[in-house]
Amino acid sequence: MKTGSPVTLTNHIRGLFLRFGFIPSGLLLFQATRPKQVHMNMYAVPSPGIPGCPPGLEYLTQVDQLLMKQKVELVEALVGFESNNKYEIRNVMGQNVFYAVEENDCLSRQCCGPLRSFTIHVLDNFGQEIITVTRPLKCMSCFFPCCLQELEVQSPPGNTVGYVIQQWHPFFPKFIVANEHNEPVLKIHGPFCGWSCLPDVDFEILTMDEVTKIGKISKQWTGLLREAFTDSDNFGIQFPLDLDVRMKAVMIGACFLIDFMFFETTN
């Protein structure tokens, strides 16, 4: 895109978000005040390129925790009409660093519910798509291992960086985290049937020998009314600061899969 006026830039970025039906309320990238004067959100300044790091993932090299907050849909809460999921991904200070939007059709959402296939687009503060997460449609059952869940993560879109693959177990959620060559790198283990008597539900990130815990994906309690009347969820993701940035992107994808498998309910 050729460099234009602030208004042109604003319209272009707004158009990217409109494509996915979502304009984040906190997205104030450009403000047209005077000719040739542009005010930028300090968290929207692109990071310089890092060798070996997929473009757009540079920020992930600086963090060991992320918070993922699902947006509450009023129509969904009132009448139970399932809508595309939308998420804000924040750092530990609560600043929005990425936005995620599900792309799906109405028939799949209403008929298949949380079992539906999906494509989730993760965008940065400039509206640039940096991660694409895809999940095929498969039946889900603890007792029949013929249709185990799987998910592919691409960054940038079109370039696979890893997979999340469910392992069969009758009672405990277990996943393999694989690299772009489908080689196992890490494991994720959850509590009994994905349920916990504690307010937060933890899915532990483990080394392949299952000896060392290096992080976790936590489903966080959001309050009685919100839990009862919506399927809007909050998650925390913790991983080592020096973890391969591609695996950090795959962990974001794993969080989406866990949300759909265990916490995305039709109320």
Residue-wise pLDDT for 189-228, tens only, equals 998 765 545 567 899 999 999 999 999 999 875 544 444 4
In a domain, 15, yes or no: no
Is the Cβ–Cβ distance between 137 and 239 less than 8 Å? no
* H or E segment to which residue 132 belongs: strand 129-135
Structure tokens at 68: 């993922």
> Cα separation of 132 and 226, whole Å?
28
The enclosing domain of 112 has a CATH number of 3.20.90
pLDDT of residue 200: 77
Q: For the chain, what is the domain count?
A: 1
In a domain, 9, yes or no: no
In a domain, 19, yes or no: no
Q: How many CA atoms lie within 13 A of 40 on its CB side?
A: 10
In a domain, 43, yes or no: no
> Cα separation of 249 and 55, whole Å?
12
Least reliable range by pLDDT among 111-115, 163-167, 195-199, 218-222: 195-199
DSSP 32: B
In a domain, 183, yes or no: yes
Say whether pLDDT at 75 is over 70. Answer: no
In a domain, 10, yes or no: no
**Residue 227 one-letter amino acid:** E
Return the sign of the alpha-carbon dihedral for residues 96, 134, 56, 213: positive
Say whether pLDDT at 229 is over 50. Answer: no
Could you tell me which residues come within 8 angstroms of residue 40 by beta carbon, excluding any fewer than 6 positions away? Answer: 29, 30
pLDDT of residue 258: 94
In a domain, 23, yes or no: no
For residue 261, which of 76, 123, 108, 135 has the smallest C-alpha distance? Answer: 135
In a domain, 231, yes or no: yes
> Cα separation of 141 and 221, whole Å?
25
Residue with tokens 């309320």: 25
**With bands split at pLDDT 50, 70 and 90, how would you rate the model's confidence at 19?**
low
Q: Could you list the residue range(s) of the whole structural domain that residue 79 is in?
A: 50-263
